[in-house]
Amino acid sequence: MGTAEDVPRLVSVPQAVTFASVRSGPTANHTCASTSDGSSPGDLYCWGANESGQLGIGASGAPVLEPKLVDEAAFSGVFALGARHTCALTSGGASGRAWCWGDNSHGQLGNGTNAESSDPVQLSPWKLSSIAAGHSHTCAFAVGERAVLCWGRNDVFQLGLGGGDREERLEPTFIAGQGEFNLLEPRLGAHHSCALGAEGTKLFCWGQNGLGQLGDGSFVDRDIATRLLSDELSLRQMDMGGSHTCVLTSAGGAYCVGANDSRQLGSGLSVDSTSILVPVSGGLSFDGPFAAGGRHTCGLDAKGDTYCWGSNDFGQLGDGSRALRPLPTFVVQGRPVP
């Protein structure tokens, strides 16, 4: 389309192609979509900013305005977008091999170099079930080791290596405290990282915390996984914005913590940040996917309707305006969540 829009618009999809999932990231200016529904391999298409080769189409340069096929086949539908890099897993049963491309100035591609690549490069020898990308770091869950690996930028402890370690890593490295916390699949904000504990009621976070995004009641950066104060809520989903963190409970409740300068927490609070989880206002039950952007947040309710809140200066809430929304605002009617 090539222009800013403040209402949802259809993407020009290649003929005979059907997307099963679409994703961007809290710091990304590009978007990717997969034809895989998770049960069989599929193709990955990307579009948008491409100054560092983050679209994986064999070249870098000007933005690409329509979906282009990534130069690698048989992706599983598991993929993640950083600021200027992208990673995806290839199919392989319960686990797959990771491929990454784009900016690599901090080693976020994980291939042992700092060389940028506009073609996918493989991470060996790990078999992974999930992968997540922050601004300039990447984390994944290794199936055989049942452990979280991270690599890339680490200036504010976003790799969670412990011991005050701020050195970036060019290859996947185990985070500290694996045995104690039994962490599962990670999700990343711009410069912070989180993962659920195996029992599902506890969330652990590490990295940048200047705006309280780790939710541990402080504003101190953490070099090791630190428990988010969740009052034993039964958590079933989480997502990370640029500098905020949101969780969904099994009962459909939504809670957020961290930066609130654009009212991205949806709580109605007038403070610019908080280090303790606050409930999203409006009395909605969020039963579907929940996603946090750089300074905005969206979720699906039990009827499949989309609600968004927070920053809207580029029309990112899709409500037909560019007005900041401090509370969940109806965007589009959907279908009931299965």
Architecture of domain 16-198: 7 Propeller (2.130)
Task: Give residue-wise pLDDT tens across range 244-295.
Answer: 999 998 888 999 999 999 999 999 999 999 999 999 998 898 887 788 999 9
Query: What average pLDDT does this structure show over 183-196?
Result: 93
Give the range among 43-52, 62-71, 120-129, 329-338 with minimum mean pLDDT.
Answer: 329-338
Q: Answer whether residue 1 shows pLDDT above 70.
A: no
C-alpha–C-alpha distance, residues 186 and 137, integer Å: 12
Query: What average pLDDT does this structure show over 233-254?
Result: 90
- pLDDT-derived band at 150, boundaries 50, 70, 90: very high
Tokens standing for residue 199: 């029992």
Instruction: Check residue 125 and give its pLDDT.
Output: 82
Beta carbons of 127 and 95 less than 8 angstroms apart: yes
Beta carbons of 59 and 32 less than 8 angstroms apart: no
- pLDDT-derived band at 139, boundaries 50, 70, 90: very high
Query: What average pLDDT does this structure show over 208-214?
Result: 98
pTM of the predicted structure, to 2 decimals = 0.91
Of 36-40, 64-68, 199-203, 205-209, where does the model show the most confidence?
Answer: 205-209
Domain range summary for the chain, segments of one domain joined by +: 16-198
Q: Answer whether residue 138 shows pLDDT above 90.
A: yes
DSSP readout, 214-281? T-SSS---EEEEEE---TT--EEEEEE-SSEEEEEETTS-EEEEEE-TT-TT-S---SSEEEEEEEPS
Query: What average pLDDT does this structure show over 43-70?
Result: 94
Tokens standing for residue 240: 């990370």
